[in-house]
Structure 1
């Protein structure tokens, strides 16, 4: 299966230079700029014009309508499978999607580090093949530049949960624009990690979709 990954398009999806074809397109959240239902409908129209046989969408912290007006928002998504602490099996592979990120100001789908996020990650089925979260695990493609230097801001509890997912082949996320890229970790059991942020830290939609096969 060829998987095409994007994230953090912030309503600039039309500015993506080229979306490669594949069996499955995954959008790992922050698809919207202002979090409005109008923007979500525009995104869904765009998704409908892409050739991929399967498409998965999760929300991110900017996608406020998906939390505040959840029922209406989910009805607007007609051209992708919307996952929110839920899963789907496609061509024999099991996918799980979750929008939660560590609390930062008052964004959507925020939860406190510790017990709140731990509980969210415990919902991930142990037989998950591909995990989609909006935010990264601690220490993997999660570095931001602050006034104090470089800081890894991913979630510790998410990182810990990954070691329990014995079938995991790939983990796709975004959220940290400066962490864009892909890495493979593990020796006996290799896992591909993808930070698919399309927008840079300056919110320019100049990063390319990331493609891999499982």
Structure 2
């Protein structure tokens, strides 16, 4: 199964130079700009132009409409499978999606570090093949420059949960400057942030072949 992974498009999806075809398109959150239902309608129209047989979307910290008006948001996103602490099985591959990130400032879908996030990750079923989260696990695609000091801002509890599972892949975004492909043991980790640090949608989609995952 060929996964095409994107994230953090911030309503700039029409400006992405190229989206390769594949079996499943995964969007790991922050698909919206202002976080409105209008943004979702535009995203949905764009998704409808893409050839992928299956499309999975989760929310991120900019995606207010999915938090504030969840029923309307889900109705509007008719061209994709929306996951929020929920899963779907596609051709024998089990996906799980979760939008949560460690709390900072006042954004959507945030939980405090420690027990609240631990409890969220505990919902991930043991029988999961591909995990989709908006934020990264600690130490993988999560490095940011804060006051001229580089720091890992990913979630330690998420990393610990990943280590407990036998995942083929973890797909996330959130930290634009962490874009790229990583490896932890037999699990591939993908920071699929499409927008650069300057919010330009120029990072290419990350292609992941599950037939090669775990090798």
Superposition TM-score, scaled by structure 2 size: 0.97
**Aligned equivalents of 2:101 and 2:56: distance in 1?**
19
1:194, CA displacement in angstroms? Answer: 0.4
For the residue of structure 2 that corresponds to 1:113, the secondary structure is: coil
What is the match of residue 201 of structure 1? 197
What is the match of residue 163 of structure 1? 163
For the residue of structure 1 that corresponds to 2:164, the secondary structure is: coil
Within 5 A, what are the aligned runs for 1:62-101?
62-101=62-101
**Aligned equivalents of 2:91 and 2:138: distance in 1?**
30
What is the match of residue 2 of structure 1? 2
**Aligned equivalents of 1:35 and 1:60: distance in 2?**
10
1:125, CA displacement in angstroms? Answer: 0.3
For the residue of structure 2 that corresponds to 1:39, the secondary structure is: helix
What is the match of residue 116 of structure 2? 116
1:37, CA displacement in angstroms? Answer: 0.2
Worse overlay, 144-153 or 17-26:
144-153
What is the match of residue 183 of structure 2? 184
Return 5+ residue gaps in structure 2 as ranges.
Answer: 211-215
1:79, CA displacement in angstroms? Answer: 0.5
What is the match of residue 172 of structure 1? 171
1:149, CA displacement in angstroms? Answer: 1.4
What is the match of residue 45 of structure 1? 45
What is the match of residue 13 of structure 1? 13
**Aligned equivalents of 1:65 and 1:35: distance in 2?**
6
1:101, CA displacement in angstroms? Answer: 0.3
**Aligned equivalents of 1:192 and 1:159: distance in 2?**
13
1:76, CA displacement in angstroms? Answer: 0.6
1:169-194 CA deviation, whole Å, 9 max, x = no partner?
A: 000000000000001221xxx11110
Within 5 A, what are the aligned runs for 1:112-151?
112-151=112-151
**Aligned equivalents of 2:99 and 2:136: distance in 1?**
11
1:211, CA displacement in angstroms? Answer: 0.3
Question: What count of residue pairs does the alignment treat as equivalent?
Answer: 210
Stretches of 4+ moved more than 6 A in 1?
Answer: none
1:148, CA displacement in angstroms? Answer: 3.9
